Chain A
Amino acid sequence: MKRNTHLISAPGPWAQSRRDFLKTAALAGVAGIAAGHLGARPAFAKASKIVWGTNADYAQPDMLSPFQKASGIEVATEYFSDPSELVTKLRAGGAGVHVMTDGSYHSDITYGEGVLKPIDTAKMPNWDKMIPAFKTAGGLAFDGKPHGIPYAWGTDSVVYNFDALKTEIDDLGALFDPKYKGQIAMPNGLFESLVATALYLGIEKPFAMSEKELDEVTKVLIKQKPLVRSYWNDIGDLKNLMATGEVTICWGWKMLLDIKQHGIDVRWAHPKQGELAWYDAAFMTKEAEGETEEATMAFMDYLIGDTYGAVLGKSIGYLTTSTSAIAAMDKDLVKTLGLDDYDSFLAKAAWWTSPTQPDLYQKAWDKVLNA
Chain B
Amino acid sequence: MNETWRSWLSGTPWLLMIGCFFILPLAGLLLMSFSGEGGFPSLDNYRVVLGEGSDRPAVLLRTIGTALSVVLLSIAIAVPAAYYLAKCVLSARVQAAVLALVAVTFLVGPLVRTVAWRGILGRSGLVNTVLQGLGVIDEPIMALLYGRPAVIVAMTYNAFPFMLFTVFLAMKMIDDRYLAAGRDLGAGPATVFWRIVLPLAAPGIWTGAILVFVPTISTVLEPEILGGTSGRLAATEIRDQFFHALNWPMGSTLTIVLIVAGGVAILALALVTAALARLSGRIGIAMRAGSTGAGSAR
Cβ B122 vs Cβ A370 within 8 A: no
State whether the Cβ of B146 lies closer than 8 Å to any Cβ in chain A: yes
Cβ B245 vs Cβ A362 within 8 A: yes
Residues from chain B with Cβ under 8 Å of A146 in the complex:
none
State whether the Cβ of B175 lies closer than 8 Å to any Cβ in chain A: no
Distance (whole angstroms) from the CB of B211 to the closest CB of chain A: 28
State whether the Cβ of A240 lies closer than 8 Å to any Cβ in chain B: yes
Cβ A370 vs Cβ B245 within 8 A: no
Cβ A228 vs Cβ B228 within 8 A: yes
Per the 8 Å Cβ criterion, residues 328-371 of A in contact with B are 358-359, 362, 366-367, 369-371
16 example contacts (A-B, Cβ-Cβ < 8 A) are as follows A228-B228, A228-B229, A229-B146, A230-B228, A231-B228, A244-B124, A246-B118, A246-B123, A246-B146, A358-B245, A362-B244, A366-B240, A370-B58, A370-B232, A370-B237, A371-B55
**With contact pairs A244-B118, A244-B123, A246-B123 given, residues A369 and B228 touching in the complex (Cβ less than 8 Å):** no
Instruction: Name A370's contact: one of B59, B124, B224, B244 (CB within 8 Å).
Output: B59
Interface string of A188-204 (1 = CB under 8 A from B): 11100000000000000
The CA-CA distance from A371 to B237 in the complex, in Å, is: 13
State whether the Cβ of A245 lies closer than 8 Å to any Cβ in chain B: yes
Residues from chain A with Cβ under 8 Å of B227 in the complex:
230
The CA-CA distance from A348 to B228 in the complex, in Å, is: 31
Q: Please list the 3 inter-chain residue pairs (A to B) with the smallest Cβ-Cβ separation, ordered nearest first.
A: A370-B55, A362-B245, A369-B232
With CB as the reference atom, state the residue of chain B lying closest to A367.
B55
State whether the Cβ of A225 lies closer than 8 Å to any Cβ in chain B: yes
The CA-CA distance from A233 to B245 in the complex, in Å, is: 16
With CB as the reference atom, state the residue of chain B lying closest to A84.
B246
Interface string of A161-205 (1 = CB under 8 A from B): 000000000000000000000100000111000000000000000
The CA-CA distance from A304 to B122 in the complex, in Å, is: 45
Per the 8 Å Cβ criterion, residues 96-135 of B in contact with A are 118, 122-124
The CA-CA distance from A370 to B56 in the complex, in Å, is: 7
The CA-CA distance from A219 to B142 in the complex, in Å, is: 25
Instruction: Name B237's contact: one of A229, A233, A240, A366 (CB within 8 Å).
Output: A366
Interface string of A204-244 (1 = CB under 8 A from B): 00000000000000000000011011110100010010001
The CA-CA distance from A237 to B142 in the complex, in Å, is: 18
Cβ A230 vs Cβ B146 within 8 A: yes
Cβ B122 vs Cβ A246 within 8 A: yes
The CA-CA distance from A367 to B55 in the complex, in Å, is: 7
The CA-CA distance from A228 to B229 in the complex, in Å, is: 7
Residues from chain A with Cβ under 8 Å of B91 in the complex:
none
**With contact pairs A228-B229, A370-B59 given, residues A362 and B247 touching in the complex (Cβ less than 8 Å):** yes
Cβ A182 vs Cβ B142 within 8 A: yes
Q: Which residues of B contact A (CB under 8 A)?
A: 55-56, 58-59, 118, 122-124, 142, 145-146, 224-225, 227-229, 232, 236-237, 240, 244-245, 247
Tell me how many residues of A have a C-beta within 8 Å of chain B.
Answer: 24
The CA-CA distance from A189 to B229 in the complex, in Å, is: 13
Residues from chain B with Cβ under 8 Å of A228 in the complex:
228-229
Instruction: Name A240's contact: one of B118, B142, B224 (CB within 8 Å).
Output: B118
Cβ B247 vs Cβ A359 within 8 A: yes
Distance (whole angstroms) from the CB of A249 to the closest CB of chain B: 15
Q: Which residues of A contact B (CB under 8 A)?
A: 182, 188-190, 225-226, 228-231, 233, 237, 240, 244-246, 358-359, 362, 366-367, 369-371
The interface residues of chain B, by DSSP majority, are classed as loop
Distance (whole angstroms) from the CB of A19 to the closest CB of chain B: 27
Cβ B122 vs Cβ A244 within 8 A: yes
The CA-CA distance from A229 to B144 in the complex, in Å, is: 11
Residues from chain B with Cβ under 8 Å of A359 in the complex:
245, 247
Distance (whole angstroms) from the CB of B30 to the closest CB of chain A: 22
Known pairs A189-B244, A359-B245, A370-B232; list 18 more (Cβ under 8 Å).
A225-B229, A226-B229, A228-B229, A229-B228, A229-B229, A231-B228, A231-B229, A244-B123, A244-B124, A246-B123, A358-B245, A359-B247, A362-B244, A362-B247, A366-B55, A366-B237, A370-B56, A370-B59
The CA-CA distance from A226 to B229 in the complex, in Å, is: 8
Cβ B124 vs Cβ A245 within 8 A: yes
With CB as the reference atom, state the residue of chain B lying closest to A368.
B229
Residues from chain B with Cβ under 8 Å of A366 in the complex:
55, 237, 240
With CB as the reference atom, state the residue of chain A lying closest to B241.
A362
Residues from chain B with Cβ under 8 Å of A190 in the complex:
244
The CA-CA distance from A226 to B146 in the complex, in Å, is: 12
Distance (whole angstroms) from the CB of B48 to the closest CB of chain A: 9
Residues from chain A with Cβ under 8 Å of B225 in the complex:
237
Residues from chain B with Cβ under 8 Å of A367 in the complex:
55
Cβ B245 vs Cβ A245 within 8 A: no
Distance (whole angstroms) from the CB of A36 to the closest CB of chain B: 47
The CA-CA distance from A237 to B123 in the complex, in Å, is: 16
With CB as the reference atom, state the residue of chain B lying closest to A233.
B224
The CA-CA distance from A229 to B124 in the complex, in Å, is: 15
Residues from chain B with Cβ under 8 Å of A245 in the complex:
123-124
Residues from chain A with Cβ under 8 Å of B236 in the complex:
369
Distance (whole angstroms) from the CB of B167 to the closest CB of chain A: 34
Residues from chain A with Cβ under 8 Å of B247 in the complex:
359, 362
The CA-CA distance from A233 to B227 in the complex, in Å, is: 12
The CA-CA distance from A359 to B59 in the complex, in Å, is: 20
Residues from chain A with Cβ under 8 Å of B145 in the complex:
246
**With contact pairs A370-B58, A370-B237 given, residues A230 and B229 touching in the complex (Cβ less than 8 Å):** yes
The CA-CA distance from A366 to B244 in the complex, in Å, is: 11
With CB as the reference atom, state the residue of chain A lying closest to B140.
A245
With CB as the reference atom, state the residue of chain B lying closest to A370.
B55
Distance (whole angstroms) from the CB of B241 to the closest CB of chain A: 8
Residues from chain A with Cβ under 8 Å of B244 in the complex:
189-190, 362
Distance (whole angstroms) from the CB of B267 to the closest CB of chain A: 26
With CB as the reference atom, state the residue of chain A lying closest to B236.
A369
Candidate in A190, A229, A230, A245 with the most chain B CB atoms within 10 angstroms: A230
